[in-house]
Amino acid sequence: MIRVLFVCLGNICRSPMAEAIFRSRIEEEGLEGKIEVDSAGVGHWHIGSPPHQGTRDILEKKRIAATGMTARQIEAADWEEFHYIIAMDDKNISDLHTIRMKEGVVVQKLMDYVPAPVQQEVPDPYFTGDFEETYELVREGCEHLLESIKRNQAM
């Protein structure tokens, strides 16, 4: 079982959006028994909160389920549980490196999977207010990440 963890600042906007989109794609591809997905934040501010209303709205508009999701903070033990820890921006990557690093765990930005990306980072809609832009970037990143995992794992 391949396990993927999406990480952003507070786990209420970008990473739960990525988790929901990626889960939807896993189901569409029939890979439920082969790939699992979760999300977390580097900060503790929103632990136990549902995704931001803007995230829920855009996912509902796109007919992607986000029910039952609650924010949590990443912890060192996640490096034992996940094969891929996928961050939304350079600051998340920096924060992840201060928490823990472990050989064999892929730690990269989501946009690193996109050939010739329009942006190198996924902007935080909590601050920009542009959930549509974030959705499009996350969707594209998730598509390429899934293709990479399928290729690397011969799925």
Active site residues: 8, 14, 124
- Interstrand relation of 106-109 and 35-41 (parallel, antiparallel or unpaired): unpaired
Q: How far apart are CA 44 and CA 35, in angstroms?
A: 27
- Classify burial at 53, counting beta carbons within 10 Å of its beta carbon; exposed 0-12, middle 13-18, buried 19 or more: exposed
Q: By the 8 A CB rule, do 146 and 22 touch?
A: yes
Q: By the 8 A CB rule, do 143 and 26 touch?
A: no
Unique residue bearing structure tokens 């601050």: 127
